[in-house]
Amino acid sequence: MSKEKDDNYWRERLTEEEFRVCREAGTERPFSGEYWDHFEDGTYRCRCCGEPLFHSSSKFDAGCGWPSFHSEVEKGAIEERVDNSLGMRRIEILCANCGSHLGHVFPDGPAPTGLRYCVNSLSVKHDPDEDAD
């Protein structure tokens, strides 16, 4: 899938709120998303293109109200870029495959990486592990 899809392509495939978060770098309210307190085994995939981004084994409760992970599913799944919006400097995270906005990464996570990938629930879909009970 290409990062070159236009807004019309995504508007036809996403809800208005998903489009706002995924394609316009919006943020859902804390403690409001489907996955902030979801801890079932599985893979969290990009809502837009379906690429695997995070595994449940790296998910942790950061107490921030958004799904948080300490590691991407594999190196290169996540793209980072500087975000100077809202009067602060942050690192935005995007799906490396399609460019969908996921959230931000912060250097206050647990071992083994010390990172906290703070993700909007609307940016991902949980895919249960096939061998889970």
**Residue positions annotated with a catalytic role:** 118
Residue type at 119 in one-letter notation: V
Sorted by sequence, the CB contacts under 8 Å of residue 63 that are 6+ apart come out as: none
CA distances 18 to 38, 50, 85, 114, Å, are 19, 14, 20, 29
Contact 9, 99 (CB under 8 A): no
